[in-house]
Amino acid sequence: MAKLEPRCCFLIPMKSIFLFLQVFLLCAAAAFGALKRADHVFIISFDQGAPAGIQKAEMPVFKAMAAEGSHTWQAYTIVPSITLPSHTSMLTGVGIQKHQVLWNDYQPDKGPVGVPTVFSIAKEHGFTTALFATKEKFKTLVRPGSVDTFVVPEPPVAQGVADACAAEVLKSKPNLCFIHFGDPDVAGHKFGMNSPEKMKAFAECDAALKTIREAVKAAGIEASSVFILTADHGGHDVPEVKDGQPTGKIYGSHGSPAKEDVEIPWVAWGKEVKPGFEIAAPVVIYDTAATALWLLGIDPPESFWGRPVASAFAPVPVAAAQKP
């Protein structure tokens, strides 16, 4: 019977194996950086888009994207819940105490916002950016060299914004695109939160959303895109009073910490988004900025108050990591 030769056997302590794995994973993370989950991110804000109003309105495209993707009807904006300060938080990732945009109209003497925006950070990483809005005040968010395309159409209505955006998508396929639909806010202030005029404005915004969706598909980038649908604030009805007497009319208002004013929708739809998923984690308006950068493979700055809404997206294997 053949004699078996003795073999050397090296026993590696389990602790050493764990240390090796930790070092390997840290090196891999450093090499790959943040995982790039999408090539194109579209943030679309429905001004005065209270969840209750959207759910009442004829908005089949919005509602289908919410059902097909990940959503919460209980995200929250800042206080005071006002258009320009709220959108500044949405696009800078910090609260009003940090960005200090306390006004709500275009004041060129105050210059652009004094903190970095998603646009300026994206540009630093080599991405193309675009901003389409129905209100001039959004110039406040355009820091020098940060936005490749900025458009406020004439007249400033949702479909005009959508048409301008669609043309740019087909032309340049921007990596980061923000779209603002102001029509619901205009109608809500004048006629009330649940007025027929407000519902009509919502429906027109939904048609505009469809225009953008079709352009993204025609540009051949739908499979590599993520849409974030949200709002800057909600609102509540206030009785009109003249000469100390109620007139019987109402108008919409906002700015308070009341639930009707601060509750907003937050929907993610597109690449790597969990289908039919209801987001349980808290979502605050400045999480939108962090999520947009995270999707493009940019680590949100430590100075951000917002954090990526990671639960809305499927995990991406390390092997699939890409650099911008």
Tens-place pLDDT, residues 83-123: 999 999 999 999 999 999 999 999 999 999 999 999 999 99
Residue-level pLDDT at 6: 45
Q: What is the pLDDT of residues 260-283, one digit of tens each?
A: 999 999 999 999 999 999 999 999
Q: Does residue 18 surpass a pLDDT of 50?
A: no
Q: Does residue 21 surpass a pLDDT of 50?
A: no
Q: Which two tokens mark 4?
A: 């078996």
Q: Which two tokens mark 306?
A: 């917002």
Confidence band for 248, pLDDT divided at 50, 70 and 90: confident
pTM of the model: 0.87
Burial class of residue 13 in the structure, from the number of CB atoms within 10 Å of its CB (0-12 exposed, 13-18 middle, 19+ buried)? exposed
Q: What is the total count of domains within the chain?
A: 1
Q: Which two tokens mark 245?
A: 């007497």
Enclosing domain of residue 260: 39-320
User: Do the domain assignments include residue 62?
Assistant: yes
How many C-beta atoms surround the C-beta of residue 207 within 10 A? Answer: 15
User: Do the domain assignments include residue 100?
Assistant: yes
* DSSP secondary structure letters along 180-216: EE-HHHHHHHHH-TT-HHHHHHHHHHHHHHHHHHHHH
Q: What is the pLDDT of residues 183-232, one digit of tens each?
A: 999 999 999 999 999 999 999 999 999 999 999 999 999 999 999 999 99
User: Do the domain assignments include residue 187?
Assistant: yes
Residue-level pLDDT at 13: 53
Q: How far, in Å, CA of 304 to CA of 116, rounded?
A: 10
Structure-model confidence comparison of residues 277 and 24, the more confident one: 277
Which CATH number characterizes residue 299's domain? Answer: 3.40.720.10
User: Do the domain assignments include residue 173?
Assistant: yes
Q: Which two tokens mark 21?
A: 């794995």
User: Do the domain assignments include residue 5?
Assistant: no
Burial class of residue 139 in the structure, from the number of CB atoms within 10 Å of its CB (0-12 exposed, 13-18 middle, 19+ buried)? middle
Pairing of β 277-278 and β 70-76: parallel
Q: Which of 37-51, 237-251, 259-273, 285-299 has the lowest mean pLDDT?
A: 237-251
Judge whether 230 and 73 are in contact, CB under 8 Å.
no
Residue-level pLDDT at 23: 41
Find all residues with CB under 8 Å of 85, minimum gap 6, and list them. 78, 96, 99, 101, 102, 103, 104
User: Do the domain assignments include residue 194?
Assistant: yes
Q: How far, in Å, CA of 36 to CA of 322, rounded?
A: 5
User: Do the domain assignments include residue 29?
Assistant: no
Pairing of β 263-270 and β 225-230: antiparallel
Q: What is the pLDDT of residues 139-180, one digit of tens each?
A: 999 999 999 999 999 999 999 999 999 999 999 999 999 999
Q: What is the pLDDT of residues 288-309, one digit of tens each?
A: 999 999 999 999 999 999 999 9
User: Do the domain assignments include residue 24?
Assistant: no
